[in-house]
Amino acid sequence: DSGVTQTPKHLITATGQRVTLRCSPRSGDLSVYWYQQSLDQGLQFLIQYYNGEERAKGNILERFSAQQFPDLHSELNLSSLELGDSALYFCASSVDGVFGNTIYFGEGSWLTVV
């Protein structure tokens, strides 16, 4: 158990809908990362937050947004969903987002868009 908690574990929704994925980082970790894992694109970095502020942005679509709240939990919002958004979404956290520190992954949220 990495200490990173993600909910829901599985989610099935229809095209055009909106979903929210939630992540609680490890106790004491200030930095949160979101990744998308799909069969054809591998593990793609979406976005990173540190202590409530956006720190880095990767291949995140405009239909997706995220935030980190004062209690350090984070949410990833996916809207106008398309079939191609079906993937495993991982949250990860690290102590302070400082170079070289290990990031710890949750077990992921499986999203299926039908």
Comparing C-alpha atoms, which of 54, 50, 37, 16 is closest to residue 105? 37
Tell me which of 7, 56, 63, 82 binds another protein, using CB under 8 A.
56
Question: Is residue 105 a contact point for another protein (CB under 8 A)?
Answer: yes
Question: Is residue 34 a contact point for another protein (CB under 8 A)?
Answer: no
Question: Is residue 102 a contact point for another protein (CB under 8 A)?
Answer: yes
Question: Is residue 73 a contact point for another protein (CB under 8 A)?
Answer: no
In the chain, the amino acid numbered 41 is Q
Comparing C-alpha atoms, which of 29, 16, 27 is closest to residue 101? 29
Comparing C-alpha atoms, which of 36, 9, 24, 99 is closest to residue 68? 24
Q: Which residues pair with 35 in a beta bridge?
A: 45, 90
Q: Find the shortest distance in angstroms from Cβ 10 to another protein.
A: 11
Q: Which residues bind another protein (CB under 8 A)?
A: 2, 4, 31, 33, 35, 42-43, 45, 48, 55-56, 58, 90, 92, 94, 97-108
